[in-house]
Structure 1
Amino acid sequence: MFKLILLSLTLITTSISQAAVWEDTNSWSMEWEAKYQEWIKSDAVHKNLFISPESKYHGMLPDCADAAYAIRAIFSLENKLPFKVINPSGSRNGIYRHLDNRSNKFDSAGSTPEARLVAMINYLGDSVGTEHLAHYDTYPVKIESVDSGTLFLYKYKKWYHKNAIRHTYNIKDVTKYGDYDVIYSTQAIVKDKLPMIRRMNHNFSNLPHGAWGYKRFIWPEFDGRSNDELPRELEYSEEQFKMADKLGERFFRFVKNQLKEEDENPQQLLYRKLQDLCQEAMDRIEYVNQGWNHHLRTGGKCMDYEDYDAYSTPSRDRALENSFKRLEADFDEVVSRGLDTLVKKRLIEVLRAIFKGDNDGPYVSEDLANTCTLKYREGASMNLATLWERLEKGRLSSHPNDSLEHRWGEKKFGRTNCKKWY
């Protein structure tokens, strides 16, 4: 009897130790892609997906690129679909070239597929980033096909800096006006174990180029094929790169026109964009405070590349500046077309105060305060007109070792001497 029990335990242990992350019994198809799009739109993909104790995927620590892999992998697991990525630590050929759902590398993580997936994503997080996602596991798509489940990946580098900024956005939905509902993670979020960021009515500002832009995951069965060999229904296309080269800064307005289902009336457009701009500025308070708190925790020590990459805000500050510019362009277009008569007078006065420095209206100061007051540090606040003035003059600092006064352009001189990594 003892030998029989021992044999049974051995068989069970062997079975567990050779478990796949999960078994796939379905294959990717356009029908499954459509279901993936609907799932991305749904409340199943939410900000607390990786940190809620109630989540089956609690314990995942994905930054921007890892969050994209994780979201795709979770849907694959829950629907018994294959998941495969190029293994960054494997050989270029042979059995270690890929990391997939059939791997038994994560047996020790637990007896459930969800526990093993958490371990696999965290392993990926230590090995891959947006660069890997852009070059190996995704392909560019037609502009008109951009929708839920599409990724937007960007890489931005100033010519005089050695290091580049990279980021991945997951598009949850495209609005009827051609804007984006996005969800994403960052390195700072991972370090501080915070929820992902979800932003409604988002717009992109870094032009597609090379391997960067609007992309989708390659189906596992097509791994190793050139993009030209992909089936037509996957809608592979290089047009976004050609149009970005041709149109420059006008590219994203072109994309918006391709994706929108209807136009907004001028009042709704300007009011919504003003509210979105306020939210983006409010979000910066949180980002800056994350860096400042880390600065305090480390006794003001100069941040190394990893911490600087997590807590600096050059990309976000550039995006905020571009959001101001887009609102100004929309406002100027409304005025030039004589449509300002369709916009409430006090909204027009607020926008003139922000972009033209015109503060003559009797309610301008009050309306600016009511529209958006940014309490960016203890005892200090400003409105959007002041923020735009400081931002336009280059007074905001993106360096996480700078004081809050310097981060928000309150002080011009005496910034940190710590290294600026990019």
Structure 2
Amino acid sequence: MILMIAILLISSLGQAAVWTEINQWSEEWENRYAAWVKSEWQKNFFSRTRLPNGQTNPYYGLRVDCADAVYSMRIIFAYEHRLPFAMKDPTYSSSRISNKMSRWDRQREIDRVRSFLWYIYETGSTRSLPSDTYPVSISRRTIRSGGVLTTTPINHHSWTIKEILPIGVPYLVYNSVVGSNSGYEMQERKSWPNPNWVFEGDYSPSSGAGFRYWRPISSLNRPVWEVPGYSTEQFQIPLSKWTKTLQSRLATRQEDDEQMMIRLIENACVGFKDRVSYVNEALAYKRQYPYCMSYEAYDTYSSPSRDERIFDDLMYLRRSYKEIIQRNNGQQLSADRKAQLQKIFPYINQSTASEARQMQPQNITEDSICVVRYQSSRSMDLAEFKRRLFLGWISNNPNEKAEYRWGVLKGPSEHARSCPSWGGWIPDLN
């Protein structure tokens, strides 16, 4: 009898779940999840070695891409609060992947959790997210901390919603891993992505794009329109009015002109600064493998979508600044802010294309903002980067040298022309 009990105990230990749930998702737990995301979900979640309480960060060193970040947010909260997690298995139509998996039963619990996260990173993607989420209606109750914003498959990107700011703007935490040397820190933005990019190719409820929230586990295998809370409301707005309509519906207070310009400048700066790391990743790979890149390497190290997002942020900044000038001649803007914006957009009353043609090279001055050292001996400010980007000199082709990637020289180079390329992006100034 004792031997039989021992065998059963060993057998049960050998079938350990990733974690054992003792709670179940409810409205109260969803609210606690939203509060946790708003307070704890920081861009340094995986890069900090210590937690605020001094303990070692158990998630340190996890390198995530955009979809990995989305799944991590939900999984880690579920684990830490003993709630279930399940997603639709993208490899089998009727199967699920859940915390009940026992393939890591010989590991410590936290190691099982990390292994489970790595397994989700390998299995899940932006393509699987639509099966695990559903489109929501437009309100602060439904578009909130812990939710998700996704694009169509063309651009295969996603963001986690840290919170909706009082001005009705999403505070997004996300990531986009380039290569094996990328750091562990995520990225953040306090602004709207370009809806034309979010919904490119399919502005419909079936696109998988837009603001979404997690399906109840019981609804994972049901048609999305049967999920409680499913709504097509955000798709009924003309795409040209999508951002302004959602912001006005979600805002609890208005943002003044000075605050808006500071926020939009900061978003453009983040994209500009982040570009240094992913271009350097591509340059390092190119030094190691100097011949033409394979499709897989090209796809990893090219930057058309990232460069387009920086362009979109600068265009949004320009449009907003122009509207302010036309509305009140910038009366609410400080003198310093006006000087900074004038440096970036010297011909604001002309068309974007006309400004790009006339703008002269920009030196670093007291009115410069976002000065970035992009090579060991070269720096430029946001105004000069904008000039090169709008002229089409900034290359997103990873077969190019640094001078072409940063627009010191206008490409394509002879080497890049001799190599195959896949995709690409050039600025549309219309």
Give TM-score, length-normalised by structure 1.
Answer: 0.84
Q: Does residue 1:64 correspond to 2:61, yes or no?
A: no
Residue 294 in structure 1 maps to residue 285 in structure 2: yes
Per-residue CA deviation, residues 196-243 of structure 1 (Å, 9 max, x unaligned), is 323141321123331111111111122222333333xxx321122222
Name the CA distance, whole Å, in 1 between partners of 2:91 and 2:333: 57
* Residue 327 (structure 1) aligns with: 317
Query: In the TM superposition, what whole-angstrom CA distance separates every residue of 1:84-105 from its partner, at most 9, and x where no partner exists?
Result: 1112333x34xxx111111223
Match of 2:112 among 113, 116, 132: 116
Counterpart CA distance in 1 for 2:113 and 2:346 is 53
Counterpart Cα distance in 2 of 1:345 and 1:63: 40
Matches within 5 A, 1:166-177: 166-177=156-167
Q: Which whole-Å CA distance do the structure 2 matches of 1:125 and 1:38 have between them?
A: 25
Question: Which segments of 5 or more consecutive residues in structure 1 lack a partner in the other structure?
Answer: 157-163
Q: Does 1:345 align with 2:346?
A: no
Within the alignment, does 1:241 sit opposite 2:235 as a pair?
Answer: yes
Structure 1 Cα separation of the partners of residues 331 and 128 of structure 2: 50
Answer with 322-331 or 180-189: which moved more: 180-189
CA distance in 1, matches of 2:143, 2:318: 26
SS at match of 2:290: coil
Aligned to 2:275: 284
> 1:367 is paired with a residue of what secondary structure?
coil
| Amino acid across the alignment from 1:15 | S
CA distance in 2, matches of 1:193, 1:17: 36
Q: Find the aligned partners of 2:89 and 2:34 in 1 and give their Cα distance.
A: 26
2:155–2:198 Cα contact (<8 Å) kept: no
3-state SS of 1:254 partner? helix
Contact 1:171–1:182 at 8 Å: present in 2 too? Answer: yes
Q: Structure 1 residues 365 and 116, CA, compared in 2 at 3 Å: closer, same or farther?
A: closer
Which position in structure 1 is the counterpart of 2:186?
197
Assess if the C-alpha contact under 8 Å between 1:150 and 1:171 holds in 2: yes
SS of structure 2 residue aligned to 1:199: strand
| Matching of residue 20 in structure 1 with residue 21 in structure 2 | no
Q: Which string of whole-angstrom CA distances, capped at 9 and with x for unpartnered residues, describes residues 39-94 of structure 1? A: 1112355524277483223464432212211221111111121111112333x34x
Relative to structure 1, the CA distance from residue 51 to residue 124 in structure 2 (aligned partners, 3 Å threshold; closer, same or farther) is: farther
> In structure 2, what is the equivalent of residue 161 of structure 1?
none
Judge conservation of contact 2:46–2:59 (CA < 8 Å) in 1.
Answer: yes
Q: What amino acid sits opposite 2:403 in the alignment?
A: E
Q: Which of 138, 147, 150 in structure 2 is aligned with 1:143?
A: 138
For residue 46 of structure 2, the aligned residue among 27, 30, 49 is: 49
Alpha-carbon separation, structure 1, partners of 2:310 and 2:61: 31
Partner amino acid, structure 2, of 1:404: A
Superposed CA RMSD in Å reads 2.8
Q: d(CA) in 2 for partners of 1:76 and 1:62? A: 18
Q: 1:127 aligns with which of 118, 123, 127?
A: 123
Q: Which of 242, 255, 266 is residue 264 of structure 1 equivalent to?
A: 255
Asked whether the equivalents of residues 171 and 183 of structure 1 are also in contact (C-alpha less than 8 Å), the reply is yes
Determine the structure 2 residue equivalent to 1:214: 211
1:44–1:240 Cα change, 3 Å = closer
Question: Conserved in 2, the CA contact under 8 Å of 1:139 and 1:217?
Answer: yes
Distance in 1 (alpha carbons) for counterparts of 2:75 and 2:193: 25
Does structure 2 retain, via aligned residues, the 8 Å contact 1:186–1:310? no
User: Structure 1 residues 88, 343: CA separation in 2 closer, same or farther (over 3 Å shift)?
Assistant: closer
What is residue 304 of structure 2 aligned with on the other side?
A: 314
- Tell me the amino acid that sits aligned with residue 383 of structure 1: D
| CA distance, structure 1, for counterparts of residue 32 and residue 18 of structure 2 | 22
Aligned to 2:427: none
Q: Given residue 116 of structure 1, which amino acid in structure 2 is its aligned partner?
A: R
- With over 3 angstroms needed to count, the CA separation of the structure-2 counterparts of 1:77 and 1:45, relative to structure 1, is farther
Check 1:60–1:106 CA distance in 2 against 1; reply closer, same or farther (3 A cut): farther
* CA 1:266–1:56: 2 relative to 1, 3 Å: same
CA contact (8 A) 2:158 2:174 kept: yes
Q: Which is richer in helix?
A: 1
- Aligned partners of 2:177, 2:410: CA distance in 1, in Å? 28
SS at match of 1:33: helix
Structure 2 contact 264–317 (Cα < 8 Å) conserved: yes
Partner of 1:402: 400
Report how many aligned residue pairs link the two structures. 394
Inter-partner Cα distance in structure 2 for 1:340 and 1:61? 43
Provide the C-alpha distance between the structure 2 equivalents of 1:174 and 1:69, rounded to a whole number of angstroms.
19
Deviation at 1:121, TM superposition (A): 2.2
Identity across aligned pairs (percent)? 28
Contact conserved, 2:38 with 2:162, CA < 8 A, in 1? yes
Which range is displaced more, 301-310 or 221-230? 301-310
- Please name the residue that 1:383 is paired with: 381
Q: Tell me: CA distance 1:50–1:343, structure 2 relative to 1, closer, same or farther (3 Å).
A: closer
Aligned to 1:80: 82
Change (3 A) 1:219 1:320: same
Question: Are the counterparts in 2 of residues 36 and 75 from structure 1 also a CA contact under 8 Å?
Answer: yes
Compute the displacement of 1:137 (Å): 0.9
CA 1:88–1:172 in structure 2 vs 1: closer, same or farther (change >3 Å)? Answer: same
